Amino acid sequence: MDGAGGFLPPAVVTNLPPSIVVLNDYTGASWQIAVSSLGVLSTQPFLIKNCGILKILMAAANSTYWYVSVGATGLLVVSPATNVTPDPTLGTLYPKSVGYPQFTQPGGPGTQTFPAQQSGGSGMTWIDGIPNEIGQGLFTAACGHWFNSWDIVSCTVAGVPAALILCPVCHIIQQVVIPYSLIQDPIASPIIFG
Which one-letter DSSP state was computed for residue 37?
A: T
Answer whether the bond into residue 179 is a cis peptide, omega within 30°.
yes
Residue type, 191: I
Mean pLDDT of the chain: 75
d(CA 164, CA 188): 13
Q: Distances from the Cα of 188 to the Cαs of 32, 103, 154, 161, in angstroms?
A: 35, 29, 16, 16
**Which residues, at least 6 apart from 73, have a Cβ–Cβ distance to it below 8 Å?**
none
Do the bridges between strand 30-35 and strand 20-24 make them parallel or antiparallel, or are there none, so unpaired?
A: antiparallel
Asked if the model's pLDDT at residue 96 lies above 50, the reply is: yes
Report which of 81, 49, 51, 54 is spatially closest to residue 70, judged by C-alpha positions.
54
What are the domain boundaries of the chain?
20-80, 85-194
d(CA 86, CA 94): 11
d(CA 14, CA 190): 24
Residue 173 is predicted with a pLDDT of 92
Asked if the model's pLDDT at residue 61 lies above 60, the reply is: yes
Between 179 and 8, the more confident residue is: 179
Report which of 179, 182, 184 is spatially closest to residue 161, judged by C-alpha positions.
179
Asked if the model's pLDDT at residue 99 lies above 70, the reply is: no
Question: Does the predicted TM-score (pTM) go above 0.75?
Answer: no
- Are the C-beta atoms of residues 44 and 74 closer than 8 Å to each other? yes
Chain-centroid distance of CA 132 in Å reads 36
Mean predicted confidence (pLDDT) in 101-117: 83
Lowest mean pLDDT among 2-6, 27-31, 55-59, 155-159: 2-6
d(CA 185, CA 194): 13
